[in-house]
Amino acid sequence: MRSLNPDRVPQYEDTIVLGLDPGTDKCGVAVVSRQQGTLHQDVVALAELPAIVRHIAEEFAISEVAMGDSTGAEQTQNQLMQAGIDVPVTAISEELTSRLAQERYWEDNPPRGLARLIPLGLRVPPQPVDDYAAVIIAERLLEQTGQQTANLR
């Protein structure tokens, strides 16, 4: 087998996506890198979204926004315009994101003690998981564009 010349291997710039899971009063926010995985995730009040997004845009080189297409999407789009974000915004299906977000929450925060005996489908996270849904939405955009995210789990 012939080894590749490293000078001839194409180098790809990292793609960083801002994922948003909009709601009526809060929004899941995540910054996901194609090469590094999840860089930031939070749940914020919708009224605070423009300031948060401006801060994120200053800290990370966001190349695109992936926004859930269900509840609160139009209001969140308006909040993005207020923030002055000048990158493409892509609507992403939120199908099954709530269930997947709960599963991912429990992967990152496994129950302890007797709570481990409760089946996954019956567990309810003790906090909102909109940030995990935002991660999933951002990952879906990266998958749609044929790019792979790093798996940091």
Q: By three-state DSSP, how is residue 123 classified? A: coil
pTM above 0.75, yes or no: yes
Domains, the chain: 16-144 (3.30.420.140)
Please state whether beta strands 89-92 and 64-68 pair in parallel, antiparallel, or not at all (unpaired). parallel
Whole-number pLDDT of residue 9? 34
Report pLDDT digits (tens) over 88-132: 999 999 999 999 999 999 999 999 898 888 887 788 999 999 999
Instruction: Please check the confidence at residue 75 and state whether its pLDDT lies above 50.
Output: yes
19-74: pLDDT as tens digits? 999 998 999 999 999 999 999 999 999 999 999 999 999 999 999 999 999 888 88
DSSP letter at 7 equals: T
